[in-house]
Amino acid sequence: MAVVATFGQVIKHRRRALDMTQRDLANQVGYSVVTIRKVETDERRPSRELAERLAHCLRIDPEQQGAFVGLGRHAMPATRSNLPAPLTRLIGRDAEVELVRGTVLQRSIRIVTLVGPPGIGKSRLSVEVAGDLRAVFPDGVCFVAFAPVGDEALVVPTLATALGVREVAGTPLVDVLVDHLRDRRLLLLLDDCEHLLGAARLFAELLTACPELRILATSRAPLHIRGERLIPVPPLALPSARTAATAAAVARSAAVELFVERAGAVDPAFALTDANAGDVAAICGGVDGLPLAIELVAARVALLSTAAILARLNHRLALLTDGPRDLPERQQTLRRTIDWSYNLLEPAEQLLFARLAVFTGGFCLPAAEAVLDLDAAAVLDGVTGLVDKNLLRQEVRADGERYADFLEMIREYALERLAASGERDQVRARHARYYLALAEQETDLDRLGIEHNNLRGALEWHIQRDDADAGLRLVAALWKFWHIRSHHTEASRWVTLVMHLSGEHDPAVRANVLNGAGWIAVDRNDHLWAKACFDESLALFRRLGDPRGIAEALHGVGAMLQASGRSAEALALFEESLLLFRGLDDTEGIAWTLDHLGQSRLGLPDPAGAEALFDASRALFRRLGHAWGCAITLSHLGLADLAQGGHVRAAERFGEALGLFDELANTWGIATSFEHLGHAALAAGDTARARDCFRRSLELNQAGADRAGIVRSLAGLASLAVVQRQAARAARLFGALALLAESSTVLMNPVERAIHDRDLAVVHRDLDHEAMTRAWAQGARMSLTEAMAYAAEGGT
C-alpha cells in the first residue's frame, strides 16, 4: 500500500494504479460515482461495508485489509469547502490577492465586497483568496453562487443548501441558519450579489448574530451594509505607452501575459514575438485590460492573426456606439467586445448561443439537444466551438456529467439576442417541457439537485403563464425531492404559488400536490395545516376513485393520528392502504405501509407484532435495493428489540442502520442512530458508551440546528444521569427539555417516550418535592445553548 496522507489518497492511488476510473470503481463496489468522489476527496467517511468492498475491488493485500478498513472508518472529513476548482492560474493579481486576504483577516472587518464591472475578474480573485484562507477558518469556506438565483425569496434556501443546513420543523429557516452559524468560524463567499441587493439585510443579520462569521462578496455595486469594506478590482496592468513594443517589454504586463496564455491554449504554436508584440499590446489596451474581454479576443488567434484581430476589433469598437448610454465605460467596452465576438460566429453558432441562454445554472448536452430542437452533432460541435471561443465554460459536476455554463454577463447578452430573435417564448416553453419530463422521470436526488436552478426556471415559466396543469405536475414530481433534501421553505413557496393558479388541470395531480404539501407541513411542524392537506387529498382521491392516490394519502392521515397518540385508528387506515397497494402490486408502497403498520403496533404497544412487520418491510426494501427504506426499517427494528429487552440485538440493528445513513450522508439518520445506540448501551449497563453516543448525537443535531433532535439527545443524557444516580442533574435536564420540547412541539417515538416517562418517574421517587421543584425550575430557566453546555459537561 502506498504511503499517502489520507484514506481518500489511498483510494485514488490504488484506483489509478489499476487503471480504473471513478465510474469503474463505483460500478464494482455497487455505489454511486458521487460517493466514490466524496470518499476520494475525504469529504465522507465510508461505512464498514463500503470500506470492505473497496479493499476487495482495489486488491488490497489480505494482511493489510484490516488496517485499510480501520483507516477508512477513522478517516475524518476534510475541512468543509465547496470552492470551485479553477482550471487555469490567476494572472497578474498578486497585489490584489494580498490586499483582499489581509483585509479579510483584519479583526475589525467582518464583510469585504469586491466591486467592479462585469468581466473584471471579481469572482476569480475571490475564489483565489478564499482558497488561500481555508486553513484560517476551522469550520470551512462556503461558496454560494447567486447568479442563477433570480428571486430574493430564494436567497435563504440557497444559503441553506450551500451550507448543508437542514430545515427544522416550526422554525423559520433564517433562524436555523443563524443557529447553525452562531458559533462557527467560517468564511462565506457570496458571488454575484448585485441583483439581490435587497437581501443585504439578511447578510447583515447573519453577521450581527454570528460573531466569528466573515463574508467575502462580489458585486457590481456595494451592498451598503454597515461596516462593509469595499475593494474595487482594477483592470489588468497594460504595457506602458512609453515602452518599446518588443516582446520582452510588453510581456511584463499582466494583460499581455493573460492574452498569451489564453492564445496558446487554442493555438499551441502561438508565441509572442517582436513582430506581433505591438498588436497584442494594442489589443489589450483596446479592451481596457478587462480579463474576460482579453480571453474572448485571444480565443480568435486560432483563425486570425493578431493584426487582423486588431483591425477588426478597432473597427467594431469604433462602430458600436449604440450601446446603453447609462452603463459605465468599461462595461460598455465589455459589451462591445462580446458583440464583436458574437458577430464573428457562424449563423448556426449565433442561433445556438442565443438559445442556450434559456438554461439557468448550466446544462448537459442531452438537455441542450432536447431544448434547442437541434441534432446531437450540431449541439456538440456548436458547444465545443463556443467553449473554444471562451463564450462558454465547462465543468464536470457531481453526477459525473460534463456541464457547460455562461458567465453571467455573457448570459445576459445571450438573453438579449434570444429576445431579439423572436424565439424566446418557444425556446422557454421547450425548456419548461423538458424539465417537467425530467422531474417526472428522474429518481436520482443528486441529479435533481444539480438541475435545481433549471427546475426553478421551469416552474417560474409555468407560473408566469398561469399554467395550472404543468405547474401542479412539476410540484407533484418535485415535492419528495424537497422533502428528503430538506428544502421545506422553498417547497412551501412553490406549493402556495401553484395552488393559486387557474385553468384546467388534472384533479388527481392536485390531490398529489396536497399530499406533498402535507408532508412539507409536517417537516415545518405545522401539524394543523398538514392534517388539513392530508384530509383534503384523501377526500379528493376518494371522489376520483384513484386507488394509488388513496393509498398514498392514507399514509399522511394515518401519520397524523399516530402522532396524536391514536395508534389504533392509524392502524386501521394503514391496513386499508396495504390492501390497496397489494391490489396494485406496488412493492415499494407495500414496504412503506408495512413500516407504518409496525410503527402503529409499536405505539399500542405491541413490539413483537411491530418487529414482524418491520422485518417484512425490510425484506421488500432489500429486494428493491432501496437503501433509504432499509435504513429506516433497521432503525425501527432496533426500537422493537429495545422495547422487548433485546439490547444486544438492538445495538446491532442501530449500528447497521448507522452505516447505511452514513453512506447516504443523511445527518438526521446518523444523529438518530447515535441516540438510539446510547439507549441500547444504557440498557446494557455501559454508561461510558452511552455517554459517548448521546454526546455524539447532540453534537450532530447541534451542527444541523435540529431542535427536535437536540431535545431527544438531552433526554438520553437525562436518562444517563438517572442510571448514574444523579437525580438532581437528571431533574434539571428533564426541566430544560420539557420547556424546549413544548416550544418546539417535539414528538418522541413510543420507545423513547416510554424510557422518558419511566426515568422521570424514578427522579420523582428519588427527590423530595422541594428538591424536585428547585432542580426542575433551574433547568427550565436554561436557554437551549445553556442546556446543551450543561448536558455535555457531564458534571452535577
Angle at 204 between CA 200 and CA 208, to 5 degrees: 170
- Do the Cβ atoms of 491 and 483 come closer than 8 Å? yes
Per-residue pLDDT of 212-231, as tens digits, reads 999 999 988 889 898 999 99
In this structure, what C-alpha cell is assigned to residue 783?
Answer: 436557554
Most confident of 240-249, 441-450, 462-471, 652-661: 462-471
How many CB atoms within 10 Å of residue 339? 18
Cα-to-chain-centroid distance, residue 4: 30
Residue 673 lies in a domain: yes
Sign of CA dihedral 64, 66, 67, 72: positive
Give the whole-number percent of the chain exceeding pLDDT 90: 45
pLDDT for 128 beyond 80: yes
Per-residue pLDDT of 720-777, as tens digits, reads 999 999 999 999 999 888 877 665 455 678 899 899 889 999 999 999 999 999 999 9
**614 shares its domain with 645:** yes
pLDDT for 404 beyond 80: yes
Burial class (CB in 10 A: 0-12, 13-18, 19+), 761: exposed
Q: How far apart are CA 92 and CA 259, in angstroms?
A: 12
Q: Based on C-alpha coordinates, what's the Rg of the chain?
A: 30
**735 shares its domain with 661:** no
Q: How many residues does the structure list for the chain?
A: 796
Span 354-369, average pLDDT = 92
- Return the pLDDT at 420: 93
**Residue 577: pLDDT band with limits 50, 70, 90:** very high
Q: How far apart are CA 12 and CA 642, in angstroms?
A: 41
H-helix segments, 267-363: 274-286, 291-298, 306-319, 329-343, 347-356
**Residue 514: pLDDT band with limits 50, 70, 90:** very high
With CA atoms as reference, report the closest residue to 15 among 24, 4, 6, 7. Answer: 24
In this structure, what C-alpha cell is assigned to residue 612?
Answer: 414482524
End-to-end CA distance of the chain: 49
The larger pLDDT score, comparing residue 717 to residue 118, is at 717
The larger pLDDT score, comparing residue 170 to residue 97, is at 97
**Residue 323: pLDDT band with limits 50, 70, 90:** very low
Residue 441 lies in a domain: no
Strands 393-396 and 187-191: unpaired
Residue 512 lies in a domain: yes
Domain end, chosen from 205, 232, 259, is at 232
Per-residue pLDDT of 471-486, as tens digits, reads 999 999 999 888 877 7
Report in angstroms the alpha-carbon separations of 505 from 458, 501, 517, 729: 17, 10, 17, 59
pLDDT for 639 beyond 90: yes
**268 shares its domain with 140:** no
Q: How far apart are CA 166 and CA 700, in angstroms?
A: 12
Q: Where residue 178 sits, what CATH number does that domain have?
A: 3.40.50.300
pLDDT for 325 beyond 50: no
Most confident of 92-96, 237-241, 521-525, 779-783: 92-96
- Return the pLDDT at 422: 93
- Return the pLDDT at 79: 53
Per-residue pLDDT of 626-637, as tens digits, reads 888 999 999 999
Residue 617 lies in a domain: yes
Residue 369 lies in a domain: no
Burial class (CB in 10 A: 0-12, 13-18, 19+), 422: exposed
Query: For residue 238, what is the DSSP state?
Result: P
Q: What is the largest CA-CA distance in the chain?
A: 98
**181 shares its domain with 263:** no
Burial profile 384-394: b = 16 or more Cβ within 10 angstroms, e = fewer: ebbeebbbbbe
**61 shares its domain with 154:** no
Span 56-85, average pLDDT = 74
> Considering its fold, how many domains does the chain have in total?
5
Mean pLDDT of the residues in the chain? 86
Residue 504 lies in a domain: yes
Report in angstroms the alpha-carbon separations of 625 from 440, 635, 655, 787: 21, 17, 19, 41
Per-residue pLDDT of 407-443, as tens digits, reads 777 888 899 999 999 999 999 999 999 999 999 998 8
Q: Which helix (H) or strand (E) holds 143?
A: strand 141-145
Q: How far apart are CA 737 and CA 49, in angstroms?
A: 36
Burial profile 459-472: b = 16 or more Cβ within 10 angstroms, e = fewer: bbbbbebebbbbbb
**Domain range enclosing 519:** 459-678
Query: For residue 81, what is the DSSP state?
Result: B
Per-residue pLDDT of 534-555, as tens digits, reads 999 999 999 999 999 999 999 9
Per-residue pLDDT of 748-757, as tens digits, reads 788 998 998 8
Angle at 69 between CA 68 and CA 74, to 5 degrees: 100
How many CB atoms within 10 Å of residue 439? 21
**33 shares its domain with 154:** no
**630 shares its domain with 494:** yes
- Do the Cβ atoms of 249 and 218 come closer than 8 Å? no
Residue 472 lies in a domain: yes
**104 shares its domain with 62:** no
Q: Where residue 641 sits, what CATH number does that domain have?
A: 1.25.40.10
- Do the Cβ atoms of 231 and 113 come closer than 8 Å? yes
Q: How far apart are CA 18 and CA 28, in angstroms?
A: 13
- Return the pLDDT at 321: 39
Q: Which residues contact 410 (CB under 8 A, 6 or more apart)?
A: 292, 338, 391
Residue 716 lies in a domain: yes
With CA atoms as reference, report the closest residue to 185 among 153, 140, 217. Answer: 140
**274 shares its domain with 154:** no
With CA atoms as reference, report the closest residue to 642 among 597, 618, 685, 677. Answer: 677
pLDDT for 171 beyond 50: yes
**465 shares its domain with 599:** yes
Per-residue pLDDT of 247-302, as tens digits, reads 999 999 999 999 999 999 889 999 999 999 999 999 998 888 888 888 888 888 98
- Do the Cβ atoms of 701 and 681 come closer than 8 Å? no
Span 85-101, average pLDDT = 88
pLDDT for 466 beyond 50: yes
**634 shares its domain with 535:** yes
**740 shares its domain with 601:** no
Return phi, psi of residue 781, to 5°: -80, -10
Domain end, chosen from 630, 647, 678, is at 678
Q: Is 109 helix (H, G, I), strand (E, B) or coil?
A: coil
Q: Which residues contact 353 (CB under 8 A, 6 or more apart)?
A: 342, 345, 386, 391, 414, 417
Domain end, chosen from 678, 705, 725, is at 678
